[in-house]
Structure 1
């Protein structure tokens, strides 16, 4: 049978109200009493009901985090940093993995509201604008711009796309491929593609664009896409991959085909994830400031919880990491 605060009160010899004051840190409580209550809770293995406590203090100190796929290294690193900064400010994270499924995302929003989270950090965007507006909770988005009334944090996707493409053009690549997820999704990352097109067209470089046809981050789909690219365009000598994971698949396929990197094919990735060191081949990449993105997301959410207004749009600088593939 679950231990209740009534049981703790009887054990310590005080009222239930006093135990509630200790749990919620309200009013003056002596250190001696705090220790007696803590000792009793440990001895009786008492587990506080966080939702019930949040009802009494009107604050849960829990932040909801909805991301597309926690197995994707970029979102895994982002989640790690958000959790770190949230915990350092006294908040815990409730993690939701949407897999870019609209129904699943809606169900997670309902769960987070029912769990009385103080706010939501959103890295997934499948619902309509009005659905997000109706949530009535502080929200911060990462790399998704929903409305001008919801704070959004991103890296400079356009500048990153421009810089990656220029690296390949400056290295005299004659036919450059751009490989990405589905470009029809409403993501700020599509600006990388926009910058790519402007650069190759302005410099008269032959190009090809390959994108997935599914809403997800499926490794097998990336492999098929990269395989199809070199089968259909064996003369491609430069690849701008919209993520480091795709860049790794390009390197793997080039090794399989016996194409030397960077002598025959030059590759530039995007994200700057920790896994960018691949089979003794260091991926040249555009690094996103993942730590800064996570820290600002938590900061902006806490500002909203406190009734303050954070910036509505924050674009963080990117950096070229020159490594061995370009």
Structure 2
């Protein structure tokens, strides 16, 4: 049998309105009354209807978070930080995994709106700008710049790309490859490629660019792409991979071919993920904790009606390790 606030009211001997005031913490309420209501709730095993409560308060204290792929360590780690700072500020998180599927992303947005979330942090970007503008909820994008009017939080992708490429040039690499996801998508991560090109042009070196297809995080595609790269360019002596996962695939293939790292091949990744095999990888570390913290902060500013900076770009750090 479902226990209602009417049952709680009868148990305590007060009106339903009084129980509602206790649950929503409205008006003056004695500590003794609060204690009696709490004891009655526990005795009857009452489970409050959070959606109904959010409608009455016009505030759910829930954020929505839409990311492309929770299995990707970057998004997994940043989700952990977003959840931590949301909870610290009295909010819970509804997590949605879009897999860069436009239909799925739209359905999740509708679900979040129907669930009365107070705002959305968007780490996925498959729809048109007008569709995001029509959400009519506080919105912050993560590592995505959707429009000039929607606040976003990211790290300095261009600076990271420049740091990685300059390191390989300093190490006297003569033929450098750049590997990334699709360069046709309008993502801030494309700035890593732009920085790479700005650094290698005009240098007395050869360079190669390889990219995956439009479908995003297809890890199984990394292996054939990397094998093909070494088959076509066996003399590559430096690789800048736009993610640590790509860099780790480079290392695996290099070992299979008997190439010595860093003596014959130097490898730089990107993200600074915490995963087995990445401990010795030279990489560009994104400040994931600070990005998560500021994404929550920017959303809270909007919810509170405060002026919110449209652009938040955080510095990255070069971590030079054993692969260079």
TM range (shorter): over 0.9
Aligned-pair CA distance for 1:92: 0.4
In structure 2, the partner of 1:313 is 311
Structure 1 residue 214: Cα displacement? 3.4
Q: Secondary structure at the match of 1:307?
A: coil
2:88 is matched with which residue?
A: 88
Aligned to 2:320: 322
CA displacement, residues 120-175 of structure 1 (integer Å, 9 cap, x when unaligned)? 00100000010011111000011111111100111110010011001111101111
For 1:205 and 1:308, how far apart are their aligned partners in 2?
A: 50
- Cα shift at 1:274: 1.3
Q: Which moved more, 1:77-86 or 1:256-265?
A: 256-265
Of 283, 289, 292, the residue aligned with 2:290 is 292
Distance 2:2 2:109 in 1: 29
Residue 300 of structure 1, CA deviation = 0.5
CA contact (8 A) 2:69 2:217 kept: yes
Aligned pair partner of 2:301 in 293, 300, 303? 303
Does the 8 Å CA contact 2:176/2:208 hold for their aligned counterparts? yes
* Alpha-carbon distance in structure 2 between the residues aligned to 1:109 and 1:256: 44
2-side partners of 1:237 and 1:43: how far apart?
69
C-alpha distance after superposition, 1:241-262 (max 9, x if no partner): 0011111111111111111110
Q: Normalising by structure 2, report the TM-score.
A: 0.98
CA–CA separation in structure 1 for the residues paired with 2:225 and 2:6: 61
> 1:278 — aligned with what?
277
TM-score (norm 1): 0.97
Once the two structures are superposed, the pairs formed by residues 8-87 of structure 1 within 5 Å of their partners are 8-87=8-87
Which consecutive residues of structure 1, in runs of 5 or more, have no partner in the other structure? none
Map of 2:230 onto structure 1: 230
CA contact (8 A) 2:185 2:214 kept: no
Query: Unpaired segments of 5 or more residues in structure 2?
Result: none
Separation of aligned partners in 2, 1:194 and 1:259? 28
Aligned partner of residue 75 in structure 1, secondary structure: helix
State how far apart, in whole Å, the 1-side matches of 2:233 and 2:44 are: 68
Aligned partner of residue 93 in structure 2, secondary structure: strand
Q: Are the counterparts in 1 of residues 65 and 120 from structure 2 also a CA contact under 8 Å?
A: yes
Deviates more, 1:155-164 or 1:13-22: 13-22
SS at 1:228's partner residue?
A: helix
1:193-224 per-residue CA deviation (whole Å, 9 max, x = no partner) reads 01101111132321111111132212211122
Residue correspondences, number: 324
In the alignment, the residues of structure 2 paired with residue 46 and residue 179 of structure 1 have an alpha-carbon distance, to the nearest angstrom, of 55
Secondary structure, in 3 states, of the residue corresponding to 1:150? coil
CA apart distance, 1:33 = 1.5
User: SS state of the match for residue 26, structure 1?
Assistant: coil
Moved over 3 A (4+): none
CA-atom RMSD, angstroms?
1.1
Deviation at 1:238, TM superposition (A): 0.5
| Alpha-carbon distance in structure 1 between the residues aligned to 2:61 and 2:99 | 26
